[in-house]
A and B are shown apart, each in its own frame.
Chain A
């Protein structure tokens, strides 16, 4: 099993550009989530999904969109990047909300 994979590992965007962060898991987990981590802070939940076709907002959803068309994939879209979205983004998955497994992260810089 590859576990949870994320692409890209690094990305630099200009203010106003859009992009999609990819996340995939091959463990047949129904629950997937996106977090952001800023320096000196814990993780903050952006969006999550409890199954294909079902998504919900976390603590900091503004500026981000998600969709879940398959069990395996959960992409995160930034429609118009802002410097405040400079962060490290982590995707995670779990079975029934128990142990969460994390991808390696995407380091995003918005200039």
Chain B
């Protein structure tokens, strides 16, 4: 089945810094989503982005489907950005059956 690898596994930032999180996947996909799990466990959908670029405030994401990777950019990080960021993908065989990476754990210090 499709494999999803996220890097780095852990990241520590000072408030105000920028960061880039990466998601590599092993097969073609037609569904890719980024999620944030906050320290209280709540999962929030950040982007549905099987291809192209999207922006939402300080967050943006780019997926290059032909090269099998996606990037999540966080600019001017805030302490509320702390938590775990997950990438999840599905391929054309079943675009609802998401396969998840292990996540990037982000800590933003004041």
A97 touches B95 (CB 8 A): yes
Looking at chain B's contact residues, is the secondary structure mostly helix, strand, loop, or mixed?
strand
A105 touches B41 (CB 8 A): yes
Binds A, one of B13-21, B59-67, B68-76, B96-104: B96-104
B42 touches A104 (CB 8 A): yes
Interface size class of A (residues with CB under 8 A): 20 to 34
Instruction: Give Cα A99 to B56, complex, Å.
Output: 14
Q: B25 to chain A: which residues have CB within 8 Å?
A: none
Q: For window 83-110 of chain B, which residues contact chain A by CB distance below 8 Å? A: 86, 88, 90, 95-103
Q: CB of A34 within 8 A of chain B?
A: no
B48 touches A99 (CB 8 A): yes
Binds B, one of A20-28, A42-50, A60-68, A71-79: A42-50
Instruction: Give Cα A23 to B96, complex, Å.
Output: 18
- What are 23 sample pairs from A and B whose C-beta atoms fall under 8 A apart? A33-B98, A42-B4, A42-B101, A42-B102, A43-B98, A43-B100, A45-B97, A45-B98, A48-B97, A50-B96, A88-B41, A94-B96, A97-B90, A97-B95, A97-B96, A98-B48, A99-B48, A100-B35, A100-B98, A101-B45, A102-B44, A105-B41, A105-B42
Interface residue ranges, A against B (CB under 8 Å): 31, 33, 40-45, 48, 50, 58-59, 88, 90, 92, 94, 97-102, 104-105
